[in-house]
Structure 1
């Protein structure tokens, strides 16, 4: 595909889009499997487009986003000669001066890059992630063609539901970030500092000295794709006295606990925790002991006048496996304020308090158009009353979040980007947990973590001081209430009181009232015209055609006006019936 001309590529895109009816399926939100197949056939750029669309639960239905998350990006690999040339150009040295060995055949190939096993001169085993040569130009070509094709979607009546230009802008920005491996390097190094060595979680160390915008080198992480654990039979033994079912349960609980730590402690989380980005490394007892972290403590004191120092070293007991994260292209960040707001949302849903949920959801949004709070509250209440009557264990957190996002979008409320990324990550993690341990409710497990964070952030001293000040202010105002009440009554008794009323949607009401008055006036004018024309026709002298013609002209104008009003009324009724 990289050798294709612009014309040939455009012809290929149009052919595939037409074959799968992609534009119509996207705008009408139907046949998501066909859209996924088309994107896979169109290659890396469109696979990334689909993966980004899968995050937009405010635009697409849950069924649509779930299907797009199944996009496969097993891309055809590049020749070793082209990979070698790119690496040497990026690092400025021959491959043999940097690596003792470099596998010619990649072990994985995705949309943006392919990965090779290699060994540095110091003997360290690493993974070299190398960007596909020419992928940046290919993506730019596809995006430019996509941009030019947007006006062609206007023939689809439902295309106005989606702002394709805005989506394309987001896709362009996201892909430009993914094409710059230096940005991924910084994210990976931060994730390493915060998570490597936390319980059974391991993260590869980045080799910044050998990494550039198109090449990134990291430690080799052993293990197998988490998909193999998911597909393993439950009753089979992994090790002595440990079945796959027990291992799945343990791993699922660790994944949830770790994710909560990322969200509510670090404020920095892996936004794409799907099985392909996590490796399971099984260890025997000896390997587990060797790789267990060592905790060192020091105690100093004096016995009489003699000082002493005692050093303790103890290995932390870990379970016989490690979860190794290997991809850091999509990460999310939450500041302290958003952490508190998201914990409030989760606690509110857990408590099933509709008003609290409404307030918590509103707090994570920004208004992007006209907003009717009463309408928003009613729509959210209607959904919550239908859904939250289920037991807590049966609540599908992804479905709740997706529907809440849709309601916000319909009411001109835009959820903060960091919260949108978190909701997407929750959805991905929930799918993994469901595959590993169907009996485990993600929502039931994460609620206590949100409550714990809320309590940790609660400054009891400040809260008591604030509450005390409120009570003092109230007590101070109590003696003045009778005199204020008498003043109010006296004002109304003298006829000086004013009552201000605020009508909801008053602009719409006024416009409708004005239209009604205009129609009434037009009706009166037409009636007068018909009556006047009748008088002219009836009273005109015989042979005086001018007065008679004036009357007939008046009849004609009245008839045409009445016909126009009838047609307009029928058209309006038709539009209302069609929009139902």
Structure 2
């Protein structure tokens, strides 16, 4: 009973807090009218993890929100107050079911970072290994559940806001709940991190921390401590002449930006598993001395075997891969995306089509990555997409903003009842975040000019020339085999039409509009005939009425009056229609 009362009290207090912040920042008005995105971001940060998640989900909905709005929401920072060490210690010991001192030689009481879901502590295991312990905030799961339950109760009230009908609020809430439940389960993040480690650790200058599964649970992750400083420090640094190993900040920024793009393309088009939130806070830059860099360079071994006459031989050749004097260390894996082989091919086709500026090819490629969720008119979709592309693709390749292209294409698809695949939506979100980082690091770099060759390379790699030639050869053989029968089939078709047995089916676009216009024309024709008959009849009544018989004469005059009023009404209606057309121009 006490728990229920406390729960109700906490819900009431939380509701009061939400209402206060919502009113202070005019949150509902700003979201529905898509104004003051910075105020919306600040409100979400104050409201905490649930609302931050809402903002992050809004930041990928370029089909609903403007690009300026989504870009601002991608800046959401979730720094929150830290928990006292006693509650952290209690949670860690509860999760590991042993005293803290049995696992850790040392455990910093003050966290070095704190986000919406968890905070991070430096620690050292009994074997002397330095690690990072990511500990979930005690009670955060119940706080989020309170917010979600309040959301559910508020959905019926949202129907009073006219603009709320543009989104399915129940479906959005379901997505938020699923996403937050995944983030609250650190075992899922652990699995993501281990997969990311296998695919990326040691690739060029990319490094990934090794996880400690034995000390990780649903509310605790222990991982290898990665050296380096937040990438934001390099972004904010001046372009000094020299900083490290004869490199200026400008040169270092250029190298890091190129590595980020190369690595992201590798994640998408080779692994099909990508980091969906590559913002600077999730990346550490580690500068290396010449000795450290030389020691960390991995060996590449090639083996050659064969026979020299009758004598067999085996040769092993090892070389060190030359690496630049820095490492880029990933440290957070809460938001990852996957893309299957079929969608990889479709995305590469889309990027290549945009690069080639072929509007028909772009239309086909975009249609291929969507699924239909309502009535769809291909002609309208093609016209709208062509209109946008013809205006935008006149720019030089270097000036094409791929994020803007994707955002507008998503909006056109949404308006035509086409829903882009979820994996592509996540990919666009990740790409938008990466684009912001690249723009900060290297504004002169054209992201599109770098991405297009990767897509082309992937497309060629996936092209099985032998199979393509076989399929093309079979098509030609089938066509050659059918050619001798073509004259006889043509004669049969002509003979069928000559005998009056042929049928021709025509499909008209916008049939309803055509029928409505035809019906309006027929109605006017009928009205014209009726008016003509009325005028003629009235004239006959007036002309043939005996003198002194005013009734018949009055009927004729009454008919004239009705005809005159009807004609006047039709003239006024015609002028009104022309005026409306002129205004619309």
Query: By the TM > 0.5 criterion, same fold?
Result: yes
Count, aligned residues: 538
For 1:365-418, what per-residue CA distance to the aligned partner results, in whole angstroms no more than 9, with x for missing partners?
011111111111001001100101100110001000011001111111111101
Which of these residues, 223, 229, 235, is aligned with residue 230 of structure 1?
235
The aligned residue for residue 48 of structure 2 is 43
Q: Is the 8 A contact 1:44 1:75 kept in 2?
A: no
Q: Is the 8 A contact 1:235 1:243 kept in 2?
A: yes
The aligned residue for residue 556 of structure 1 is none
Which of these residues, 165, 190, 193, is aligned with residue 195 of structure 2?
190
Task: Point out the more displaced range, 106-115 or 43-52.
Answer: 43-52
Q: Is the 8 A contact 1:2 1:134 kept in 2?
A: no
Q: Is the 8 A contact 1:277 1:326 kept in 2?
A: yes
Q: Is the 8 A contact 1:226 1:276 kept in 2?
A: yes
What is the aligned-residue RMSD (CA, Å)? Answer: 3.1
Q: After the TM superposition, which residues 339-358 of structure 1 pair with which residues of structure 2 at under 5 Å, given as runs?
A: 339-358=344-363
User: Post-superposition shift, 1:513?
Assistant: 7.2
Structure 1 position 469 matched with structure 2 position 474: yes
SS class of match (1:17): helix
The aligned residue for residue 431 of structure 1 is 436
User: Post-superposition shift, 1:314?
Assistant: 3.2
Structure 1 position 215 matched with structure 2 position 257: no
User: Post-superposition shift, 1:465?
Assistant: 0.9
User: Post-superposition shift, 1:134?
Assistant: 0.5
Structure 1 position 375 matched with structure 2 position 380: yes
The aligned residue for residue 172 of structure 1 is 177
CA distance in 2, matches of 1:441, 1:71: 25
The aligned residue for residue 283 of structure 2 is 278
Consecutive unaligned residues of structure 2, counting only runs of 5 or more, are 1-5, 531-580
Which of these residues, 232, 242, 247, is aligned with residue 247 of structure 2?
242
The aligned residue for residue 559 of structure 2 is none
User: Post-superposition shift, 1:506?
Assistant: 3.0
The aligned residue for residue 501 of structure 1 is 506
Structure 1 position 136 matched with structure 2 position 141: yes
Q: Is the 8 A contact 1:98 1:121 kept in 2?
A: yes
Task: Point out the more displaced range, 432-441 or 231-240.
Answer: 231-240
SS class of match (1:174): helix
For 1:496-555, what per-residue CA distance to the aligned partner results, in whole angstroms no more than 9, with x for missing partners?
222211122435655787899999999999xxxxxxxxxxxxxxxxxxxxxxxxxxxxxx
The aligned residue for residue 147 of structure 1 is 152
The aligned residue for residue 325 of structure 2 is 320
CA distance in 2, matches of 1:518, 1:187: 68
TM-score computed with the length of structure 1 as normaliser:
0.87
The aligned residue for residue 420 of structure 1 is 425
Which of these residues, 266, 269, 274, is aligned with residue 271 of structure 2?
266
Q: Is the 8 A contact 1:131 1:214 kept in 2?
A: yes
Which of these residues, 488, 492, 504, is aligned with residue 493 of structure 2?
488
Q: After the TM superposition, which residues 22-33 of structure 1 pair with which residues of structure 2 at under 5 Å, given as runs?
A: 22-33=27-38
CA distance in 2, matches of 1:161, 1:519: 39
For 1:401-441, what per-residue CA distance to the aligned partner results, in whole angstroms no more than 9, with x for missing partners?
01100111111111110111111111111111111111111
CA distance in 2, matches of 1:261, 1:315: 21
User: Post-superposition shift, 1:2?
Assistant: 11
- Distance 1:524-1:369 versus aligned 2 partners, 3 A rule: farther
Consecutive unaligned residues of structure 1, counting only runs of 5 or more, are 526-575
CA distance in 1, matches of 2:210, 2:462: 32
Q: Is the 8 A contact 1:348 1:356 kept in 2?
A: yes
Task: Point out the more displaced range, 152-161 or 279-288.
Answer: 152-161
CA distance in 1, matches of 2:324, 2:144: 44
TM-score computed with the length of structure 2 as normaliser:
0.86
- Distance 1:227-1:498 versus aligned 2 partners, 3 A rule: same
The aligned residue for residue 561 of structure 1 is none
